[in-house]
Amino acid sequence: MTDSTLLPVGPTLLNGHQPRLFDRELSWLAFNRRLTYEAGQPHQPTLVRLLKLAQAATSLDEYFMVRMPLLKGIVQGKEAIALRGDRLIRLQTYLKALIDRQQAHFAYNLRPTLTHQGIHLLDYAALDAGQQRHYEARVADEVMPVLAALVTPPGGTMPDFSNLSLNLAVWLEQAGKKQLAWVKLPRVLPRFLLQREEASPAAWIAVPLEQVIIAYLSDLFPDSVVRGGYPFRVTRSTDLGVLDSETANLIDLIEEGVQQRRQQGHPVRLEVSATMPPWLRSHMARQLGLAPSDVYALSGWLGLNDLHELTRLPRPDLRATPWQSGLPSALKPQPPPSMLSFVPLSAASEADLFRAIAQQDILLHFPYHSFAETVERFVAQAATDPQVLTIKMTLYRTAVDAPMVRSLMAAARAGKQVVVLVELTAPLDEAINIHWAKRLEQAGAHVVYGVVGFRTHTNLVLVARREAAQIQQYAYLGTGDYLPDRPQPYEDLGLFTSRPDIATDLSHLFNFLTGCAHQIGYQTLMVAPGQLKHQLQALIQREAEHAQQGRPARLIVKLNLLADPGMIESLYAASQAGVEIDLIVRSICRLRPGVPGLSDRIRVHSLLGDFVEHSRIVYCQNGDRPEAWIGTADWTPRGLNERIEVMVPLPTAALVAEIDTLLQTLLADTQNRWQLQPNGQYTPCHAAVPQPQSAQQALIERSQASDITQPQ
C-alpha cells in the first residue's frame, strides 16, 4: 500500500455542502484508513505490520459492534442517530471499501513479504502431498475430537452463533435432499495450524483452521455428500450502555447482559466467503433479519484480527528492537558519579515510594516508564505497609491477571480498609471486571459500582497512611487503564502526589462515587459531569482574552476524540480571537481546521506509531504563566456529560515545562504524524521529508539516556 489517498471525512460526500463540523462516522472511517495505511509502511518490521493490520481489523469489528447498532436504530441510546435510506447505504459502501482495502493489503503486500521472509501463510489447497499428510494426522488427533455440528433442513432455523465466532455453513445432500449443517470453530483451537519447514528451522507454514476442516468435512458427515463448506462470521451489537435505574443485583444483571450479548445481541453484519452460493447468503441473511447491504462477501480470509496469533512466532528478526522501560529520576537510587545514569529497574526495588512522593510530585510517562515498578508497586507497597490504613481505587479496565487487584485483596485480608469502585460496564471487559469484583468482595474489600446513570471512566488511587501524629494521603491520577501488557503498548501519563489540596479533592470525589455525599465544587480537580466542560471552556476563553490583549496565547490539546460541538465552537472563537491552537487528536475529529475566518489558526494532527497515543493533555500558555492538565476525558458529548471523568493540574512549573517539551516533540514527528486538511483529507507528514523522524523513538532514546520527565 503506497498511495496516500484518504477517504475525506467531511460530509460533502453525503449532503453536498460543507458545514462547520465534519461527519463523525466518516471521520472514524478515515481513522481506520490511517491504521490500515500504517500497517503497510515498509520501515516497520514485518510482524509489527501484521499486528497493526490485525488491530485495524479489530477496530473495524468494534465499530460494527458498538456504533452500527446506534446508526441502524437497533439499539436506543443518547448517541443514537438511526441513519436512514441512502445515507446508511453510502456508509456501508465506505465500510465495504475499507474491508476490501484491508483484504487487498494482506493478500498483495503482507502475505508475499512474509513468504519472502520464510513465513508461508498458505491455503490448504496450495499444500503439497506431504504437507497435507501432516495436517491429516493433526485433524484426527486435535481437531475432530472437539468439533460439533448441527444439521438442519433448508427451511429450518439457524443456530444462535456467538458474536464474531468463525463458523462453517456446510451444504449437504442426503438421499437426494438438500440439507444444511453448521460447524463452529472451537475457541480452544488456534485459528492457524502451524508446522515448521524441514529444510529451514526458521521457516514456518501456517494454514487457516477452517480450510483444514473443510478439507475433511466428509469425515465429519460420512453419510452425506458434501457439496461445499463456506466460512462466515456474524457481528452482533455489544455495548451494554449505562444502566439508568437502581438494582439490588447489579452484578447479576450485567452478567446476564454479557451472556445475552455473546449469543443474542442484535445481528448487524454477516461476513461470508465470496465462494458461498447466493441462495445460501440470502437464506442466512433472512434468518438473521439482515438486509442485503448488511452482507459482506470477502474474497480472502475472514477474521483478519486473528493474524495477531502469528505475531508470536519465534522470529525476533521480524519484530521491533526490544528495549527496557526506565524510571523517573525521583524513583532512581542515586548512583556514584562513576556509574551510568540509567539504572536497571531491579536496583529500585528497595526505594520507598511514599518517601519519594512526599518529597516531590512525580510525573510518569508510560510505556517509557515501567508501570510495574511505579503504579503496581505503589499499590503493592500500600498493601503491605503497616502504617497504611486505607486504600481507595477506581477500576475501569484491568487484566485477566492483575497484580494490583491481588495487592488490594491482600490488603483487605490484612485488615486494611479497601474501597474499590469497579465499573461493570466497561465495554468488552465486563466479564473480567465482574470476576475481580467478586474476588475483592470475598477478600473483604468494600466494592461499589459507581454512580447510577454514569460510567466511571477514571483511574485513581488514594492511600491514607499514619505518619507520626497525623494522617498523610498519597494519590495516583492517571490517563490510562491498568492494562500495561497490551500487544500494542498504550502511551499514558500519571501523577504521584501528596499535595493536600489534590488529596482532599479525591476524598470528596470518592465520597461522591460511593454514595456517601453529593458532588461538590473541587479546589484543584476538574470533574465531569458538571464542572469539567464549563471549566475547559473557561480556559479557552481566558486564552482568547490574552490574545485580544496582546499577551502570549497558545493552546495545545491532546485527545483521542474531539466531537463535542460546544467545545469545537469554543475553539473556533479562540482562533478568531488570535489564539494559536494545535490539536493532537488520534482518531475522530469533527473540527474543520484551517478555514479562513473560522479556524485559520487551528492545526489538527493525528499521531499513530508503535504505541497508541492515549493520554489526554491540555496546555495553556496563559500569558507568561503556562498551565497543563492531564486526565481521562475526551471532548465528546458522552465524555463530558455522561461519564465520571477527572482532569488534574500539574502542580509545578517544572512539570508543566516537561509537558510542553513532550508536546513539542510530538508535533515535530515526521514519521507517524498526519495533518487534517480543510477539505477533510489527512496527509502524512513523512511524504514531505527525506528522512522522517519518530517522536516515540526519540522518547525511547531519551528515557534510556537521561532523566527525561523529572525536574532536579
Whole-number Cα distances in Å, 313 to 204, 208, 486:
9, 15, 17
Residue with C-alpha cell 492545526?
Answer: 603
Q: The C-alpha cell of 427 is what?
A: 465495554
| DSSP state string for 101-160 | HHHHHIIIIIHHHHHHTTEEE--GGG--HHHHHHHHHHIIIIIGGG--EEEE-TTSPPP-
Q: What does the angle CA 383 – CA 385 – CA 390 come to, to the nearest 5 degrees?
A: 60
The candidate with the shortest Cα–Cα distance to 711, out of 658, 649, 648, 664, is: 658
The radius of gyration of the chain's CA atoms, rounded to the nearest angstrom, is: 27
Whole-number Cα distances in Å, 380 to 354, 367, 410, 463:
12, 20, 9, 11
Q: Encode burial over 339-371: b for 16+ CB neighbours within 10 A, e otherwise.
A: eeeebebeebeebebbebbeebbbbbbbbbbbb
Residue with C-alpha cell 491481588?
Answer: 406
| DSSP state string for 35-47 | HHHHTT-TTS-HH
| DSSP state string for 653-676 | HHHHHHHHHHHHHHHT-SSSEEEE
Helices and strands (DSSP H and E) totals, the chain: 21, 27
C-beta neighbour count of 483 within 10 angstroms:
18
Q: How far apart are CA 175 and CA 401, in angstroms?
A: 53
Half-sphere exposure of 397 (CA within 13 A, CB side): 16
DSSP H/E element including 433 = helix 430-443
C-beta neighbour count of 603 within 10 angstroms:
17
Please tell me which residue in 105, 308, 369, 457 is annotated as part of the active site. 457
Asked whether the beta carbons of 523 and 505 are under 8 A apart, the reply is yes
Q: How far apart are CA 624 and CA 268, in angstroms?
A: 53
For every residue of 637-650, which 3-state class applies, written as one string? HHHHHCEEEEEEEC
Q: How far apart are CA 647 and CA 688, in angstroms?
A: 36
Strand 627-631 vs strand 612-613: parallel, antiparallel, or unpaired?
unpaired
317 class by beta-carbon count within 10 Å (0-12 exposed, 13-18 middle, 19+ buried)? exposed
Whole-number Cα distances in Å, 132 to 112, 145, 253, 309:
21, 19, 48, 22
Q: Is there a catalytic annotation at residue 457?
A: yes
DSSP H/E element including 529 = none
- The greatest distance separating any two alpha carbons of the chain, rounded to the nearest whole angstrom, comes to 89
Q: How far apart are CA 378 and CA 521, in angstroms?
A: 28
Strand 602-607 vs strand 295-298: parallel, antiparallel, or unpaired?
unpaired
Cite the active site residues.
Answer: 457
